[in-house]
Amino acid sequence: MSEEESYIENILRFNKGKVGTFYLTFPDNREWNAKVVTGVLEAAGKDHIIVSEASGKRYLLLMIYLDYVTFDEEITYFNGR
Protein backbone atom coordinates (compact mmCIF):
# COMPACT_ATOMS: atom_id res chain seq x y z
CA MET A 1 0.00 0.00 0.00
CA SER A 2 1.38 3.40 -0.87
CA GLU A 3 1.08 6.42 1.41
CA GLU A 4 -1.23 8.09 -1.12
CA GLU A 5 -3.81 5.31 -0.76
CA SER A 6 -4.35 6.05 2.94
CA TYR A 7 -5.82 9.53 2.44
CA ILE A 8 -9.42 9.66 3.62
CA GLU A 9 -10.83 10.56 0.20
CA ASN A 10 -9.11 7.53 -1.34
CA ILE A 11 -10.39 5.20 1.38
CA LEU A 12 -13.89 6.55 0.77
CA ARG A 13 -13.49 6.07 -3.00
CA PHE A 14 -12.53 2.42 -2.42
CA ASN A 15 -15.86 2.03 -0.58
CA LYS A 16 -18.01 3.70 -3.23
CA GLY A 17 -21.39 1.97 -3.56
CA LYS A 18 -21.55 0.89 0.08
CA VAL A 19 -24.14 2.10 2.57
CA GLY A 20 -22.60 4.22 5.30
CA THR A 21 -23.62 6.53 8.09
CA PHE A 22 -21.90 9.91 7.91
CA TYR A 23 -21.59 12.07 11.04
CA LEU A 24 -21.01 15.81 10.64
CA THR A 25 -20.53 18.77 12.97
CA PHE A 26 -20.70 22.44 11.98
CA PRO A 27 -19.19 25.62 13.45
CA ASP A 28 -21.26 27.38 16.12
CA ASN A 29 -23.38 24.26 16.56
CA ARG A 30 -24.43 23.56 20.13
CA GLU A 31 -24.84 19.83 19.61
CA TRP A 32 -22.28 17.24 18.65
CA ASN A 33 -23.22 15.37 15.45
CA ALA A 34 -25.34 18.17 14.07
CA LYS A 35 -26.22 16.07 11.02
CA VAL A 36 -26.28 12.32 10.47
CA VAL A 37 -26.84 11.02 6.93
CA THR A 38 -27.26 7.34 6.10
CA GLY A 39 -27.05 6.32 2.47
CA VAL A 40 -25.01 5.02 -0.42
CA LEU A 41 -21.63 6.64 -0.95
CA GLU A 42 -21.76 7.73 -4.59
CA ALA A 43 -18.53 9.75 -4.89
CA ALA A 44 -15.67 11.19 -2.85
CA GLY A 45 -13.38 14.06 -3.73
CA LYS A 46 -10.64 15.84 -1.82
CA ASP A 47 -13.11 18.20 -0.14
CA HIS A 48 -16.54 16.58 -0.52
CA ILE A 49 -18.60 13.40 -0.67
CA ILE A 50 -21.90 12.66 -2.36
CA VAL A 51 -24.35 10.42 -0.51
CA SER A 52 -27.81 9.29 -1.65
CA GLU A 53 -30.53 8.23 0.78
CA ALA A 54 -33.00 5.43 0.05
CA SER A 55 -35.64 8.15 -0.53
CA GLY A 56 -33.61 9.41 -3.50
CA LYS A 57 -32.47 12.57 -1.72
CA ARG A 58 -28.81 13.32 -2.44
CA TYR A 59 -26.35 15.23 -0.30
CA LEU A 60 -23.14 17.02 -1.21
CA LEU A 61 -21.28 16.97 2.11
CA LEU A 62 -18.11 18.93 2.78
CA MET A 63 -15.23 16.88 4.22
CA ILE A 64 -14.27 19.71 6.57
CA TYR A 65 -17.44 18.97 8.59
CA LEU A 66 -17.13 15.17 8.49
CA ASP A 67 -16.34 13.64 11.89
CA TYR A 68 -16.46 9.97 11.00
CA VAL A 69 -18.20 7.29 8.91
CA THR A 70 -19.52 3.85 9.83
CA PHE A 71 -20.22 0.98 7.45
CA ASP A 72 -22.14 -2.22 8.29
CA GLU A 73 -19.76 -4.25 6.16
CA GLU A 74 -16.01 -4.63 5.81
CA ILE A 75 -14.19 -1.42 4.91
CA THR A 76 -11.91 -1.58 1.88
CA TYR A 77 -8.77 0.18 3.08
CA PHE A 78 -6.72 0.10 -0.11
CA ASN A 79 -7.36 -0.83 -3.74
CA GLY A 80 -6.89 -4.55 -4.15
CA ARG A 81 -8.40 -5.63 -0.82
Please give the pLDDT value at position 48. 97
Going from N- to C-terminal start, the domains of the chain cover 3-71
Distance between CA 47 and CA 27 in Å, rounded?
17
Supply the pTM of this predicted model.
Answer: 0.85
Edge-first strand listing for the sheet containing 35-44: 58-62, 48-52, 35-44, 19-24, 66-71
Distance between CA 81 and CA 68 in Å, rounded?
21
Please give the pLDDT value at position 30. 78
> Digits of tens for pLDDT over the chain (81 positions)?
454 556 899 999 999 999 999 999 988 887 766 899 999 999 999 999 999 999 999 999 999 999 999 999 999 987 665
Please, what CATH class does the domain formed by 3-71 belong to? mainly beta
